[in-house]
Each structure stands twice: as C-alpha cells, then as structure tokens.
C-alpha cells in the first residue's frame, strides 16, 4: 500500500535519510524545511501522511500541526511528529495540537513503516468517504455542515486479564468516558453489540492471545471499524507494531501517563465519531436518492429497479410477482377546492395508511401524482387482491384530517391488480395490465379493486 508522504525537517540530512527509507518502500516523498512551508505544501500537494519535526526555525512543529488540524483542507491528513525529545510534556503538547502519533529520533525503520501503513489505511477510508460525500453535496442529496462539535462520552472496552491494571485504566478514563471491563461482559457477542466506541487492549494478557483477538475484531463486520488502542511494555514494542499491521489504531506504552491516555483516547474517538457521521450521512443520501420526498415512499426509479429484479426471477421459473396500482378518487377536485397544500396532506396521509396496510415484504412506491404502486414479491393475484382490498377499506372507513384537523375529508381509492405468470413478462406488461384493471375499477364506479393476470 503506497502513499504520498510529506517529510518536514529543517536539517537536510534528516530529510534525505527519511526520503531514502520511504522511497525504498515505494512511497512517494515530498519535503519541506519548516512549518510554514509544510502548511503551504500540504494545502497544495494534499499528502496522505505528514512526518513533522518538532524543533524547527520560523515555525515549530507544534504550531504547524495546530494550524494543519484547524484548516478544513488539511485537518484530515494524519500527522506524525518526529522528535528527539521523549518527555511527556512534548507528547501531550503534540497530542493536544492534533498529532496522530509520535516517532523518536533516531527513527526505527520498523516503527516508521508500521505507523505509516496504519495511518495510510485510515486515510484511504477517510478519502473514499469524503469523496462520496462531496459527490452527494454536488448533486444536492447531502446538505448542511460537516460533522463536528464536542465529543460525547465514549464507551471504552478495556481488555486486560490483570484486573488491577484494567481497573486503573478505567478509573483514569471515568471522568470523560464510560469504561467497561472485559470481565464484566458476559460473552464476546454481548461485547460486540454493546455500542463500543473504542477498545483498549493490553498485550501483557496471559489468558488469551492479544494479537489474535485484535485480528478477530478487525475481521468481524460488527467490530472492524472500531479503533483499537494497544497498551504495551517497552520490551513489547515489536509486538505492538505487529498489532498496527493487524489493524490497531494507536499504541501507548507503560507506565501509562493518564493525561496521555486521555489525549490518545480522545483523538481516536473523535476520528471514529467523524467517520460514523459521514457514513450515516451517506446512508441518508442513498435513501434520498430512492425516496419520494413528499411521501417518504420509494420513488419510480427504485420501483423499476426492484420490479426488474423480481420479474427476472419470476420469468426464470420462480414465484410470481404481483403489483397493484392505487389511484386516489377525485383527487383533482381536492386540489381545486382546498389547494395544493391540502392535496399534499392527503397524499402524505394516504402514503402512511399504505405503509400500515401492506405486508413487511411489500414495496410501496409513489409512481407520480396521486398514483401509487405496491410491489408484492412471491405473491399470487388472489393474495394481492386481498391486500389491496384491505387498503381500500381502511382508506374509505376513516376520514382524512387536513388543515391541522380543522377539516375532515372523505377519501376513497380505486385499485388495479396484476400478476406475472409465464416466462416473458416485462415491466411494461405488468404495469399495463394493472393500469387496465385500475381503469376498469374507475369505470365501474370507483372505490373498488379489479385484477388482471399478465
């Protein structure tokens, strides 16, 4: 997995050394010599990862990182701070500035590549989701501000078979989050469904293989998107870096500094919440693309796609598919007498009654105007007529409250049912027969159900 890496260091020899190491692993490398140059290049070149030295003239790494993480164009680029200073104050200052990770000079090759590959995986997911969101915004199905705001308390699952160590971690996180001990959950399935935001996994556990458990979480659909924070002793560094290769998101070394732990947890939770929000907005945009905005039913485009799939199966010897077309009687007079706002109220109320009176497997759609179609997979004509008749009776038996309940309208509906049989039925055939049955219902006095076989 390759990536474009921006290496920032005021010492030419350091830049060249990192460039040589990364180029050997087929990464594309660009360089900058100070913080301001790094910001300019990040905005222009849009790298996938930034390796940012701390001590530099003009602008140090902390200030540059803070600017990068508050700029909408660069805030999603992972930043790894590279420093010869290993004390906690600099780590905390970097984490608070938004840094995603740290490397200490002289940079270990294995640590360098493991961290870059782990962050590159995250960046690829982020880029894909942001690209899809941008497309949704461009065509108008996604609106509003980007996800953001304060971080709500997270549910943090702590996995450590040393109860004392686990409780110490839980105590340090309790003020900001809701920690859950592994020993308190009944079984793995319960843990996977508990709405966990982050897993803190200790490599010092003896009763299970932590790396295998990390791999399990990353292979399961329910948990693969959960960030995993590895807790390791310094002599376990190689094992911790292996965890990064397996999909872990971050590492913290013992003895654990509580402020550093809080900062790293906060960073991982913020990333997860952002990705969750983007995914949720994309799901909503997909719903909008197939949904009629007035009634909330499926639109004509989705109706044709679903019908095509069910007809292909029916024409190949599968169970028949039925449809019925429902048309609100005298709907034009409602619009003419009360106005289109009231007409829209009637359409929305009718759509709600349709949802309530079809079966769970049926697919209610708005074809256009006052015409609605319900697709009924694996359904005979007789059963489709029963469902259509149930809807007709329900609509006719209760008046429609409009204009905030000030008026009550008597509404009826005519319905035409059609069923697919044979091996060459098309969408046009099925809908034409249903439309003919609907026309017969209208001609026979309205407020009734008629059926045809296709």
Kindly list the catalytic residues.
370
Q: Alpha-carbon distance 150 to 79, whole Å? A: 21
Q: Output b/e per residue, 244-260; b: 16+ Cβ within 10 A.
A: bbbbbbbbbeeebbeeb
Task: Tell me how far CA of residue 26 lies from CA of 5, 19, 46, 51, 419, in angstroms.
Answer: 11, 10, 18, 16, 60
The candidate with the shortest Cα–Cα distance to 99, out of 260, 274, 272, is 260
Take residue 287 and report the two structure tokens written for it. Answer: 């719903």
Q: Alpha-carbon distance 241 to 230, whole Å? A: 9
Q: What order do you get walking across the sheet with 101-104 strand by strand?
A: 28-32, 4-8, 49-53, 79-83, 101-104
The answer to whether 8 and 50 are in contact (CB under 8 A) is yes
Q: Alpha-carbon distance 270 to 116, whole Å? A: 20
The candidate with the shortest Cα–Cα distance to 435, out of 349, 371, 387, is 371
- What is the per-residue DSSP string for 37-65? HHHHHHHHH--SEEEEESS-SSS-HHHHH
Q: For the chain, what is the largest distance between any 2 Cα atoms, rounded to a whole number of angstroms? A: 91
The answer to whether 191 and 157 are in contact (CB under 8 A) is yes
Q: Alpha-carbon distance 170 to 251, whole Å? A: 17
Q: Alpha-carbon distance 155 to 339, whole Å? A: 51
The answer to whether 391 and 411 are in contact (CB under 8 A) is no
The candidate with the shortest Cα–Cα distance to 67, out of 101, 43, 102, is 43
φ/ψ of 108, rounded to 5, equals -75, 130
The answer to whether 170 and 202 are in contact (CB under 8 A) is no
- Cβ neighbours of 216 (radius 10 Å): 15
The answer to whether 320 and 451 are in contact (CB under 8 A) is no
Q: What residues have CB less than 8 Å from 231, skipping those under 6 apart?
A: 160, 169, 200, 201, 202, 203, 204, 251, 252, 254, 256
């Amino acid at each position: 997995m390759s990536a474009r890496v921006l290496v920032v260091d005021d010492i030419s020899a350091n830049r060249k050394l990192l460039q040589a190491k990364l180029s050997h692993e087929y990464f594309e490398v660009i360089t900058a010599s100070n913080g301001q140059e790094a910001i300019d290049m990040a905005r222009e070149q849009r790298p996938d990862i930034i390796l940012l030295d701390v001590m530099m003239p003009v602008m140090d790494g902390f200030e540059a990182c803070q600017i990068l993480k508050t700029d909408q164009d660069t805030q999603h680029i992972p930043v790894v701070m590279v420093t010869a200073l290993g004390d906690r104050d600099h780590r905390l200052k970097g984490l608070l500035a938004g840094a995603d990770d740290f490397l200490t000079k002289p940079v270990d090759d294995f640590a360098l590549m493991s961290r870059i590959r782990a962050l590159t995986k995250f960046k690829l997911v982020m880029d894909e989701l942001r690209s899809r969101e941008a497309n949704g915004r461009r065509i108008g199905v996604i609106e509003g501000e980007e996800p953001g705001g304060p971080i709500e308390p997270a549910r943090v699952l702590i996995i450590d078979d040393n109860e004392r160590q686990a409780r110490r971690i839980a105590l340090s996180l309790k003020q900001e989050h809701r920690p859950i001990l592994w020993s308190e959950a009944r079984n793995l399935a319960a843990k996977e469904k508990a709405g966990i935001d982050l897993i803190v996994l200790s490599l010092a556990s003896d009763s299970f293989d932590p790396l295998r458990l990390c791999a399990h979480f990353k292979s399961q659909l329910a948990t693969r998107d959960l960030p995993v924070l590895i807790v390791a002793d310094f002599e376990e560094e190689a094992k911790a870096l292996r965890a990064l290769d397996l999909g872990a998101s971050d590492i913290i070394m013992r003895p654990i500094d509580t402020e550093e732990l809080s900062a790293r947890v906060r960073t991982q939770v913020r990333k997860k919440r952002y990705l969750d929000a983007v995914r949720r907005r994309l799901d909503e945009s997909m719903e909008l693309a197939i949904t009629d905005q007035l009634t909330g039913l499926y639109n004509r485009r989705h109706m044709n796609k679903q019908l095509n799939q069910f007809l292909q199966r029916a024409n190949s010897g599968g169970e028949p598919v039925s449809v019925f077309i429902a048309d609100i009687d005298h709907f034009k007079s409602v619009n003419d007498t009360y106005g289109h706002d009231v007409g829209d109220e009637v359409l929305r109320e009718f759509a709600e009654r349709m949802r309530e009176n079809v079966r769970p497997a049926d697919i209610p759609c708005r074809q256009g105007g006052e015409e609605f179609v319900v697709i009924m997979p694996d359904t005979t004509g007789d059963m489709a007529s029963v469902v259509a008749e149930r809807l007709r009776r329900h609509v006719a038996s209760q008046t429609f409250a409009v204009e905030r309940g000030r008026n009550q309208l008597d509404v009826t509906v005519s319905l035409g049912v059609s069923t697919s049989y044979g091996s060459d039925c098309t969408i046009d055939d099925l809908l034409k027969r249903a439309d003919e049955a609907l026309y017969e219902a209208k001609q026979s006095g309205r407020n009734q159900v008629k059926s045809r076989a296709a």
